[in-house]
Structure 1
Amino acid sequence: MRRTLYVLCLMVALLTYGVQAYSQDNNTAKQFSVAGVIYDDSGDPCIGATVRVKNEPGVGTISDLDGKFAIKVKPGATLLFEYVGMETIQRTILKDEPSLSIKFKVAKTNAIDEVVVTGLVSQKKVSVVGAVSTINMEELRTPGTSLVNMIGGRMPGVITMQISGEPGQNLSNFWVRGVSTFGAGAGALVLIDGIEGSLNDIDVDDVESISVLKDAAATAVYGVRGANGVVLVTTKRGSKEKIQVTARATVKLSQIKRLPEYLSSYDYARLANEARAMSGESDLYTPIQLDIIKNNLDPELYPNVNWIDQIMKKTSLQENYYASARGGGDVAQYFVSVGYRHEGAAYKQKENQFHRPLSYDQLTYRANINMNLTKRSELYFGVDGSISNHTTPGGKNTNQVWKDVLQLNPLMFPVTYADGTLPTYGQSDLISPFAALNYQGYNSADNTRNMITLKFTHRFGGILKGLVGSVQAVNDRTSGFSERRFVRPDYYRATGRTATGNLIKTLRSKQQDMSYSSNNESWRKYYMEAKLNYNTSIGAHNLGALLFYYMEDTKGSKWGNGDALGIAAIPKRRQNVSGRLSWGYNSTYFVDANFGYTGSDLFPKGERFGFFPSIAVGWAPTSYKWVQKHLPFVNFFKIRGSYGLAGNDNIAKTRFPYLTIINNHAGTTWGYNGSGIVEKQQGADNLKWEVAKKLNVGIDANFFNDAIKLTIDVFRDTRDHIFQDRVTLPEFAGMVTYPKSNVGRMHSFGSDGNISYFHKINKDMNFTVRGNYTWSQNIVDYFEENKLAYDYQSVTGMPYGVLRGYISEGLFKDEADIRQSPDQTAAFGVVRPGDIKYRDVNGDGVINSDDRVPLSYGNNVPRVMFGLGGEFNYKDFTVSLLFKGNTGVNYYRVGMGYDAGWIPFYNGEMGNVLKMVNNPKNRWIPSWYSGDPSTENPNAMFPRLSYGSNNNNSQLSTFWKQNGSFLRFQELNFRYVFRHRKWLRAAGLSSLECDFVINNLFTIDSAKYFDPEQAWFNGASYPIPTTYSLQMYFRF
């Protein structure tokens, strides 16, 4: 086995390094024989260390499984010994060396010498003057569903919210420095190797680095695409090292912990009677019926169904596999990888030819090679892509399934009747969530993406030394194929029993044989770029210049329904010219000037190009000797600031907002039966870019031999020319739809930063603690709206997305309290003691929409997000953890459209009831019903019960307001790395890494009944689970 593995390693070395065999005939010049053993810093043999001759491309070898090597070289040749993570060693050979001993030292890097990708260029950290967040990729070597989920709580400047735990949908929405516009597009630009892409379509082990560009100094070069921030992902390339083969296997157990608890049938029936009594109505259930329900005597007419238990298992399994190979020599370097993941859902579903369980499968692949055509020219060729399949129920989307769970009471109907037939309910003969998951067929969506990249790079010499030019072409194709296999069985409704006790059922919906439908969509993008980058040093001055051009052409075969004119299918095109000039002096003073000049076909001729400049400066006084002398504990300190413009061309939901589109098939009135003509879209005159004016000031500091690292930024982003409706036009203007124009304005401000502390206890033991935060707030400076009666009704001057409702004054005590309070009946109908009492804000004696005021910031984007984590290392054992959380966000149990459960019996029988309502202390009960005055609790969690619609208590108000902040124990990771074991060598492994990871251990919050990230819609979605993962990395 050992011999076979060594032969394989040697074959790879021959392929990647192109080792040239030395001729042993009499004409060969004298050569020295060199042999020996290579050790790492711990004294263990290095397997596969590179040994090559300096300045002789293709001449070299690798060490074997015992660290041994042998090579012949010319007299005076210099050997280079290289190994991953170790300092390169040079030895000049002047004689035969039969027993050379080489011992590596761990490579040391200075924090300020770290290289950061800052957009189109890479810079040493010391010279970066823009606001750029990066992350150590070691922190992300943990099981996760997507990169977006993994960076949440780990990177300053990034705010994430995960709204679902369902396979295929368990992704996070994310924003860079929050929401800065109320225009159509507020999301950040994601570039993978310079090409727009998705963080959900890439395996974390394919990623070399991630940078988030936050200010104008970093984003201006992206022109119209940089206003909302830019996420740069750089993937792995080949290396001039021996082949490195890595395999990863992950098995994950997903457990559902947080689920709402609802009343049993008996308690539901009791409270239903109470609710009807509160409205002066007779009991819904007689004493005999209550006895039948309590003793479960008739489970078909009076069932006791826990719908969550019927559709959910507690656990599901997920798998993730990955393999890669990386290596190369002086002539070529390559990287190849493939990954696969399967996610199963925790639904209780059957599988047969008509039904498939909900699942998500994805295959990712990547292959690239860098070929050195000459000493100065390089050709890169890469292929990457993904193939995915998402299978879902055929009857309803799963969000609707969860809404049904919230509203179906346990008494409404059984899961199935005794004979196996299925029930239906409501006037429209709706079906249960169990039937939707198991009896309606399935949908299957396949998506394929493939991208081919070709890039040529040339490094100039002579008087042009320092100039690097490159051209790149990309063909990016995506296709989607979806199919629906729909089947519907017979559905019945039971209405009673015959005199002999037989169930009386009525057929409500006849069986439908399986039907089939499908849909094809495809997109293609052509992208081309050319770049000139120049860097040189003159004495203590460092100079840099960049000139960059790109163009892209994107086209889809199906862009939307109802596009009779085919406008949406016209290719989308952009062009951009960007530039950058940088100057640095003695690692102390820094100046960067950037610009982007971008054209987009979304705008009319004459307005298609926009110019977006920026300037950034930095000062690092720690380069002064007097600072080093008097403040020796300050290893690095830099103050930086930037100001500039960035653009956003994603301003409208329509393809060409400047065009006026006529609809000649409009409806008519006044008895005319022909088709009418109307302006479907009023073209926007003087259409402009949305422009972001970005100001940023920040500091970077390292203390105590780089043990403490600190970065803090404060920012302000002002948006002009936001595209919105011109609603102030009078009705007599005759407009069917409002015209739009660039009149909106908004600004956001805040701060983000991170701090870390590293402490080395001894050579075997160390620990790191790190934290980060992002705080962002916005204010709408101008939003066109009609004249309002009161200033507090205006959108202008308020945070974007502010929620408006009523201020609760508690619960009405009695009829006298109702009579003495402002009138609520005109707006909400009959009001009784125990109902919510509202504040008369404008003092007119009547409660109506004029009393609705701003209550809180929007409920789905937190103002503050933070993370706290670290790791402890002892030799080859590591324990790491991560806490993440947010604050500055509220949610409302009622008033947002997800009221079921929180307003008991909100629509008669179509309303489930939470268990907590059963506690008399939690609801207001009149003393005449309970016989106890103490049940008229003015601080009750719920108002009085009512059966059917209660317009008064269902309003968005402070009564239902809850704090949405949370602190989540996001991750706990136990890792052990096996190295230098004989059994590893026997298996051909250099190391084996084992991780046991728990995600979402617990959360401290006020929601309790669902995940706090899902609180803004009362948990009406697949829960976010706790996962237990066993992950193994095999390194060959």
Structure 2
Amino acid sequence: MSQNEIKIMVKRSLLLLVFFFCSTSVFSQKSQEQTVGYELRGVVTDSNGMPLSGADIKIQDKPDVVNTDVDGLFTLEVSPSDVLVCSYKDYKTEKVLLTEKTKALTIVMQPLFEEDSGVDVAYGNYRKRTLPGALSYIDADVIEKNAVSIVEQALNGTLSGLHSVKSGGQKMGNSNYKFYIRGIATTGNASPLILVDGVDANINLLDPKEIESVTVLKDATELSMYGMRGANGVILVKTKRGDKLNSYMNVEIRTGFQQANFIADKLNAYQYATLYNEASVNDGGSPVFDTSNYLNNSDTFRYPNTNFPELFLNDNTQYMYQNLNFSTGGGNDVAQYYVLVGYMKQDGLFTAPLNYGDVNNSNDERYNFRTNIDIDLGKGYKLNLNIAAINDAKRSPWLGSDFNVNNSNSNLFNRIMTTPANAYPLVNRDGSLGGSSEYQNNMLGILQSGNRVETTRQLTAKTKFTKDLSSLLEGLSANMVYSFENYNSYYQGRYTGFAVYQLNQDDTYTMYGVDDTKVTNTGGQMGDYYKDVTIMGGLDYERTFENHQVRGSLTANQYTSRISGDNPDYKWLGTSGRFLYGFQNRYFLQVSGAYQGSNSFAHGQRYGFFPAVGASWVISEEAFLNASRTVNYLKLRGSYGLVGNHLDATRYLHRQAYIKNNGYGFGNPNGSVPGTYAGTLGNEGATWEKSLKTNVGFDLSMFTNALTLSADYFHENRKDILVPQANVVPDLIGVGLPLYNAGNITNKGIELQLNYTKNIGELLVNVGGNTTIANNKIIDLKEVPYSAQEDYRYRKGNSVDSYFGYVANGIYTNQAEIDADAVGSSFGSLAPGDIKYLDLNGDGIINDADKKAIGNTLPEVIYGLHLGLEFKGFDLYAAAEGTSKFISHIIPNQFSTYAYDNRFKSGENTSTFAYPRVSLESLHNQQTSTFWQENGNLFRLSTIELGYTLPTQTVRNLSISKLRLFLNVDNIFSTNNSIEGRDFEAVNAGYSDYPMLKTYLVGLSVNL
């Protein structure tokens, strides 16, 4: 090509560009002329004509939002052919197509009745009205009102049937909760199955802000579809998605501090020495300490009185709960998106006086990222893509490679609380670290020697393709899902050695440990690696034929879990299905079930069938009730079916075990050759637990849906529970016997959920509560046979969670009472001040044969309460939870303030003591018994949040659409055990375990 031709081509290109921009400008001007805006005035009311204040008004596909004032009025700049979108909590979203003549507008909002809305269930989303099963549901508003970093904590008391039990003190970046749904009906694993967006996922590190809703499935019609994984109930967590009607950007900042909910008192040096001397004398020894040295003490280096909790535990830890969140969502008819980026940091309780220098505190720092995208690909194809990534870093003082972060925190807290005040001075007269041969881990040395950092990374991805097959059969669609979750964690340690120095009588020091300033670095993979993969494919069908509604699904699914160590993958493979038929929108019948197998069982024993059936009747649709002004909705429902419980910890029971030993002596001279011997026998018939579930209930709505009530009766018969054959087969067989399926437990109870919502003028009131009463009973566990005289030793007839102990009958006040009883103790010689235990079998000795069921640890009654108020921009939310009908069992330490104040002291008034004699040797008084138990009755005020949303006109001047300020207090108050003031649930928290925490936050939420 010649140079002239190149110039001509360039000129033509430039002319084309000029023409393009000019034409675009003209087109833009014409478009602006055609879409000249004007001011629209409108009012939003409910169906009774009452104005709705605070309704969101916007133009579809545009981000700007205005809110109605106290009279329901709004003004908005619009253009002809705009689509106006009006939304309000608990009301159906209304869309209005504007015309050139639309200058004034009245929008009447219709209540969004829960029964007509969709709810997540097994492998789908169905109208609640059509379902015969029992389920509980909460949305994002409830979850976000809790000032928590762990999702499980936000669920306390909010969902009927769901009971969350604290399993210990506060954990950094990990859940300290165990979930039970409708009580417990097994001696094995009773934890429910937890799914996020329909697939297995870890919720420990989820940001509560990314959750849209939580649903608890409780009856057989839903649980049977999960086959041998559903008997303990299922929790479905749904994350947020984009909305084509509402685009937004939100920034939320929370900051505040935490303090320990309870830290036990501790003895000073004089009190400890006094108790120790007394215990030694009670055992026939001599006093060990000269207590006068701790009174008016002038030499605290030789006779220390170190208050370790005061030195090393913050009363108020600055916890810049920098829970910063940025989220955005929106879209159009083609694609919708949701994105969240979150950051959270939490500091621990450890500290030291400023004059001792810096210390390594504990903390947790977490980053969350999530994006959910929905795309209409055209021609009936749709794509849903979920990606979530989490990076969590936990830090603690270094206590050795055997202690992970949470164990380090609890272990260090325990040392602070249990090290005697006279053990050692924190620092000696010469500035060295104090210590002794017995106490070589000086607390200050530990806090300054180094730290351990655990980094956890979690990546979750889910892809779902959906294809509309209406061209083949109207209402038919197909879907395919692939999901995986990778989870791994590793630690890094950095520490130095330190020495402690004990002051001798001649004013010299003896060194213990290694005084080494060399920094040692260590690290490695932790043992909780896993990779979960879910693959699903299925068909969905939905069609209405005049008065007949038909809906069904068939899903094939495979779930594989690979965990750390030399463990073969866990695999489940099966097919689940549901058929739902409705007639005249009032009579519904559902048949559902699964055919599922697991590779943990023997060939020929791996698969099982789990069917269920349910029916419901919407009575309020009948002619005799549909005109009622009082009853708006009434539905009766019932279900029955079979569900399984697969016990992961007992896989491969069908295999014969062989064990390697040290070898056999052989040859001359003696040598050794490797060898094996037969271990536990195999049980080729081993299978999963089977649960027959029955549920009967009703749902009622009254007074224009202001008052709603749900009630359920449930009954479960759990069979084929694994029990030991060793109970009924003599040891003469000479080999280990496997577990086998022979146990039987029943569980039954009732559930109630009540809610009242009403607009009273400008005040919106929402108040409600829920309760579950569940009682389980052991029918048979194939126990060791006992004589008629010792039939109290059977677990049969008691609760699964019963604990066995001795029946106490006061305390021996003198030797004459001991002689009169003529019983001995297998835990040491009896003396005045010891607890009297009943000799139930009359054999003259107190031992294990005298134990009986003395109480149940799991509450039979759980309940939750909530209150919500909204008035002229102000909002208040409060939630509480409670439990009752259980036993709290606490044995105070012999060197506690409780023991010091209440102990039995020989020769003094013995009518007021509440603690037996102290002893360094005898274990008689430390046994589980009724002496130490208390009827549990927990009430906890979980959270209170007070917020204020600025008026629309005010924030509009700031170029934002919504601004809310709020204050939040979490774990405000709870009843406690009267023995020592400990928490009824986490009895060791703040005593020997890291404490539970109370949280105070201020926050700001801005919609851009």
1:146 is displaced (CA, Å) by 1.5
Distance 1:370 1:67, change over 3 A: farther
Distance 1:679 1:46, change over 3 A: same
Q: Does 1:945 align with 2:910?
A: no
Superposed, 1:991-1010 pairs within 5 Å as 991-1007=962-978, 1008-1010=980-982
1:260 is displaced (CA, Å) by 0.8
Q: Does 1:464 align with 2:473?
A: yes
Superposed, 1:338-737 pairs within 5 Å as 338-348=341-351, 356-374=360-378, 376-395=380-399, 396=403, 397-424=408-435, 430-436=440-446, 438-461=447-470, 464-494=473-503, 496-498=504-506, 502-507=507-512, 511=516, 513-520=518-525, 522-556=529-563, 559-560=564-565, 566=566, 568=567, 570-629=568-627, 632-649=629-646, 651-653=647-649, 655-666=651-662, 674-727=673-726, 728-735=728-735, 737=736
Contact 1:34 1:100 in 2 (8 A): no
Q: Distance in 2 between matches of 1:614 and 1:325?
A: 41
Which residue is equivalent to 2:855? 856
Which residue is equivalent to 1:843? 842
Paired residue type of 1:1001? I
1:734 is displaced (CA, Å) by 2.4
Runs (5+) with no aligned partner, structure 1: 1-19, 53-59, 74-78, 561-565, 895-901, 905-911
Superposed, 1:861-872 pairs within 5 Å as 861-872=858-869
Distance 1:621 1:506, change over 3 A: same
1:18-37 residue CA offsets vs partner (Å, 9 max, x unmatched): xx999959999x97867443
Distance 1:863 1:418, change over 3 A: farther
Q: Distance in 2 between matches of 1:104 and 1:967?
A: 44
Superposed, 1:87-98 pairs within 5 Å as 87-91=93-97, 93=99, 96-97=100-101
Q: Distance in 2 between matches of 1:164 and 1:21?
A: 66
Q: Does 1:175 align with 2:180?
A: yes
Paired residue type of 1:603? F
1:231 is displaced (CA, Å) by 0.5
Which residue is equivalent to 1:4? none
Contact 2:87 2:94 in 1 (8 A): no
1:654 is displaced (CA, Å) by 5.1
Q: Distance in 1 between matches of 2:435 and 2:663?
A: 37
1:84 is displaced (CA, Å) by 3.8
Distance 1:149 1:92, change over 3 A: closer
Which residue is equivalent to 1:7? none
Paired residue type of 2:968? V
Paired residue type of 1:730? P
Which residue is equivalent to 1:908? none
Q: Distance in 2 between matches of 1:449 and 1:799?
A: 39
Q: Secondary structure at the match of 1:261?
A: coil
1:634 is displaced (CA, Å) by 1.8
1:742 is displaced (CA, Å) by 2.1
Which residue is equivalent to 2:823? 823
Distance 1:284 1:63, change over 3 A: closer
Distance 1:655 1:146, change over 3 A: same
Superposed, 1:284-363 pairs within 5 Å as 284-286=288-290, 290-316=291-317, 317=319, 318-348=321-351, 356-363=360-367
1:425 is displaced (CA, Å) by 5.0
Query: Which of 956, 975, 989 does residue 960 from structure 2 map onto?
Result: 989
Distance 1:106 1:990, change over 3 A: farther
Contact 1:111 1:706 in 2 (8 A): no
Contact 1:51 1:62 in 2 (8 A): no
What is the TM-score when the length of structure 2 is the normalising length?
Answer: 0.88
1:838 is displaced (CA, Å) by 1.0
Q: Distance in 2 between matches of 1:863 and 1:46?
A: 42
Q: Distance in 1 between matches of 2:936 and 2:191?
A: 22
1:188-243 residue CA offsets vs partner (Å, 9 max, x unmatched): 11110111112222222212211000111111111122111100111111111352
Distance 1:31 1:575, change over 3 A: same
1:812-854 residue CA offsets vs partner (Å, 9 max, x unmatched): 12111111103124x1322111211111211233322211111
Paired residue type of 2:947? R
What is the TM-score when the length of structure 1 is the normalising length?
Answer: 0.86
Q: Distance in 1 between matches of 2:665 and 2:632?
A: 79
1:510 is displaced (CA, Å) by 5.8
1:1035 is displaced (CA, Å) by 0.8
1:603 is displaced (CA, Å) by 1.4
Q: Distance in 1 between matches of 2:927 and 2:55?
A: 70
Q: Distance in 1 between matches of 2:96 and 2:328?
A: 27
Superposed, 1:909-928 pairs within 5 Å as 912-914=895-897, 916-919=898-901, 922-927=902-907
Distance 1:321 1:106, change over 3 A: farther
Query: Which of 768, 771, 774 does residue 773 from structure 1 map onto?
Result: 771
1:49-93 residue CA offsets vs partner (Å, 9 max, x unmatched): 2248xxxxxxx99789996555566xxxxx532144374343474
Q: Does 1:810 align with 2:810?
A: yes
Contact 1:887 1:965 in 2 (8 A): yes
1:722 is displaced (CA, Å) by 2.1
Q: Distance in 2 between matches of 1:730 and 1:204?
A: 54
1:890 is displaced (CA, Å) by 1.8
Distance 1:392 1:679, change over 3 A: farther
Q: Distance in 2 between matches of 1:843 and 1:513?
A: 64
Q: Secondary structure at the match of 1:303?
A: coil
Distance 1:224 1:49, change over 3 A: same
Distance 1:873 1:457, change over 3 A: same
Contact 1:891 1:1016 in 2 (8 A): no
Q: Distance in 2 between matches of 1:962 and 1:130?
A: 38
Paired residue type of 2:204? N
Distance 1:105 1:482, change over 3 A: farther
Distance 1:585 1:392, change over 3 A: same
Q: Secondary structure at the match of 1:379?
A: strand
Contact 1:610 1:689 in 2 (8 A): no
Distance 1:417 1:106, change over 3 A: farther
1:505-532 residue CA offsets vs partner (Å, 9 max, x unmatched): 3435564844333223643333221122
Contact 1:439 1:488 in 2 (8 A): no
Contact 1:1011 1:1019 in 2 (8 A): no
Superposed, 1:79-94 pairs within 5 Å as 80-85=83-88, 87-91=93-97, 93=99
Q: Secondary structure at the match of 1:719?
A: strand
Q: Secondary structure at the match of 1:831?
A: coil
Distance 1:229 1:609, change over 3 A: same
Contact 1:964 1:1015 in 2 (8 A): no
1:343-396 residue CA offsets vs partner (Å, 9 max, x unmatched): 111111699999742111111111122111226331222211211111122215
1:485 is displaced (CA, Å) by 2.8
Distance 1:47 1:138, change over 3 A: closer
Q: Secondary structure at the match of 1:888?
A: strand
